[in-house]
Amino acid sequence: MRHRTSDLDRVVVVGGGRAAVAAVEELERLGFTGAVTVLAGESRPPYHRPACSKGLLTGQRPADVQLSTSSSARWLTGRVAAELDAKRQIVYAQTGEMYVYDALVVATGARPVIPDGWPVGEPGLHSLHSIDDALSLAADLRKAQRVAVVGAGLTGCEAAYVVRSLARECIMIDSNPQVMTRAVGSVTGGLIADTMRHEGVRMRLGRRVKNLSRCRRGWRLDLDDGSHVDADVVIATLGERPDTDWFTARHADTSDGLLCDESLRVQGVDQVVAAGAVARWPNAWYGDKPGRVDQWIAAMELGQAAARTLLSGSRAAPAVGVLPRYWSDLFGLRIQVCGRIDQTEEVAVTELRPGRRDIARGGVLAAHRRGGVTSGVVAVNAPRQFTTLARAMREAGPARPLVSLPAVIPNQRRLSLVG
């Protein structure tokens, strides 16, 4: 089917990440023949952002992580959206250029959270979000001796793994009593933290950085218990915030990303859809209040869904459901997650190889449940069991009971039931 109508000839996509690429590809696949213009804020072509905390820190070339882009769309790099005139349907870039649209796809993703007053960009002080961030950090790591990682989320733990693989001293600071709390939950995060300690990462968990200042050798981090940490290099991995400052539409809700309906149409604004980490919508997979999903695979699926909704015009579009999936390899641990990890839910944690001192390395499976329904699964060094459970979740569909753990782990031993 060819898609070109008199009222949908010019599509503007704001953002140059995975969601933007997926939206453009889906428009092309569905036969849209109008003009597509992509405003990508970074000066580089689109790339695999997860590589910033992985391969790029250890020598992988930027060209090796680039995403292929559509030949039919007009890709404009270095164009940061500065303002939106939703009434006249115009996006203004920081360059002063203006782009008129019939339909708009917002895929601006998120920006790293940096504490006020932290002079990121000065020698030895880094965030870790873009290719340029990764290349700058990699250069400093080659000559560093002691590195402080502030923030023990998924990105922070991957950075700590690289630091230790380079035989550098690593100190990790986080306000939570375990690592990767949001990504894998508190119980599994505690087991992963134990493995990281065994691998030489010095943990200052349950602590906050009150002050950061220059010192003779690099940086001094004053903690809330009165102690301090000295480091040659500091890596700030304190999470991300949806990039919506430019979205000035009067009636839009930008309190946590862009509030959308179940089909990713931005509420309060005509002819605008959102995709990726910037979209907040009632995920049909869970059927509850609006929320965001900011993983790489989800960005692709949301970009595709946003393009389909856009081409539906004023007709009803299907509700969008995304089952989060992500993974990481660090410190000899294969970490895999499927579904939503909620700290308020009951968690059944199972040990695969009882008796091992390093429980995480021996294999762990954690099922997060609410009302008898498994909403998320975390596996550590349990790829076969994870594949079985993740497949069962996808086949069962939203809000359906999942196969019980003993059915996939015949020699399992229950560690704990938390909830």
Answer for the pair 229, 283: CB distance below 8 angstroms, yes or no.
no
279-310 burial string, b = 16+ CB within 10 Å, else e? bbbbbebbeeebebbbbbebbbbbbbbbbbbb
Average pLDDT over residues 55-82: 88
Tens-digit pLDDT profile for residues 88-100: 999 999 999 999 9
In this prediction, residue 399 has a pLDDT band, given cuts at 50, 70 and 90, of low
Token pair belonging to 408: 């996939």
In this prediction, residue 279 has a pLDDT band, given cuts at 50, 70 and 90, of very high
Chain mean position to CA 176: 19
* This prediction's pTM: 0.92
Alpha helices in 87-208 (DSSP H): 131-141, 154-165, 181-184, 186-198
Average pLDDT, the chain: 91
**Domains in the chain, CATH or no CATH each:** 10-111+241-311 (3.50.50.60), 125-238 (3.50.50.60), 332-418 (3.30.390)
Instruction: Walk across the sheet containing 333-339 and list its strands.
Output: 325-330, 333-339, 373-380, 364-370, 346-351, 413-418
Q: Over pLDDT 90: what percentage of the chain?
A: 75
Per the model's pLDDT, the better-predicted residue between 396 and 26 turns out to be 26
Question: φ and ψ at 104, to 5 degrees?
Answer: -125, 130
Other C-beta atoms closer than 10 Å to the C-beta of 199 total 17
Per-residue confidence (pLDDT) for residue 96, from 0 to 100 = 95
Beta strands in 177-257 (DSSP E): 202-205, 209-214, 219-223, 228-231, 233-236, 240-242
- In the predicted model, is pLDDT for residue 410 greater than 50? no
Average pLDDT over residues 58-63: 84
* Sign of the four-CA dihedral 22, 28, 34, 38: positive
Return the residue matching tokens 């002819």.
271
Per-residue confidence (pLDDT) for residue 276, from 0 to 100 = 97
Lowest pLDDT segment from 12-26, 66-80, 164-178, 207-221 = 66-80
Please report, as a single letter, which amino acid is at residue 388: T
- In the predicted model, is pLDDT for residue 371 greater than 80? no
Average pLDDT over residues 114-142: 94
Question: φ and ψ at 121, to 5 degrees?
Answer: 110, -25
Answer for the pair 338, 325: CB distance below 8 angstroms, yes or no.
yes
Token pair belonging to 362: 């021996």
- In the predicted model, is pLDDT for residue 290 greater than 80? yes
Return the residue matching tokens 């793994």.
161
- In the predicted model, is pLDDT for residue 347 greater than 80? yes
